């Protein structure tokens, strides 16, 4: 799991190895089918397939391998598109920290994940948004330069200042 630091991953003899090419073809076909289901707005099918793919990649490659993070992005996109904004917010927040740990600060994948986390959070009802605000703001401060997130942090603060209806 990402810890929000810029430490380089240390190579380990226990590092999971990529699957054999035959398994990758099957994985590719399953991913394509999940994407097609998502495009058809069959989110139940797409989410179930994405969850299976993600679990397989975590088992084979680890939870912060590039392929796993890319699959997690797809799953986070499905959460957003299906209206699961709490799951999307938490996923994108975690992904921003994971990409930050993996590729460093200021990288496009890190920035996009941070922006997607904030966008997902904005869709949450106040009673769900408030408990997630601290993690979101802390992530924004950690993975991007503070001046780059000043506007979204101001929007978050403004939203938190509004009375709950």
Examine the pLDDT at 2 and tell me if it is beyond 70: no
90-125 tens-digit pLDDT: 999 999 999 999 998 878 999 999 999 999 999 999
**First-to-last C-alpha distance (Å) of the chain:** 36
Can you give the C-alpha Rg of the chain in angstroms?
Answer: 17
Rounded Cα–Cα distance for residues 106 and 89 (Å) = 20
Write down the residue that tokens 């097609």 correspond to.
Answer: 36
CA 94 to chain centre: 5
Q: What is the pLDDT of residues 52-94, one digit of tens each?
A: 999 999 999 999 999 999 999 999 999 999 999 999 999 999 9
């Amino acid at each position: 799991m990402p810890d929000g630091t810029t430490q380089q991953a240390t190579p380990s003899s226990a590092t999971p190895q990529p699957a054999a090419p035959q398994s990758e073809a099957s994985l590719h076909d399953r991913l394509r089918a999940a994407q097609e289901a998502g495009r058809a707005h069959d989110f139940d099918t797409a989410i179930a397939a994405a969850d299976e793919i993600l679990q397989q990649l975590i088992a084979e490659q680890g939870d912060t391998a590039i392929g796993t993070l890319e699959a997690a992005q797809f799953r986070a996109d499905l959460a957003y598109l299906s209206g699961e904004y709490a799951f999307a917010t938490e996923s994108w927040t975690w992904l921003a920290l994971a990409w930050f740990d993996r590729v460093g600060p200021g990288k496009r994948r890190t920035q996009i994940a941070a922006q997607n986390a904030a966008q997902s959070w904005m869709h949450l009802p106040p009673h769900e948004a408030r408990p997630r605000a601290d993690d979101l703001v802390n992530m924004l401060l950690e993975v991007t330069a503070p001046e780059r997130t000043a506007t979204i942090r101001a929007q978050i603060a403004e939203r938190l200042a509004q009375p709950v209806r």
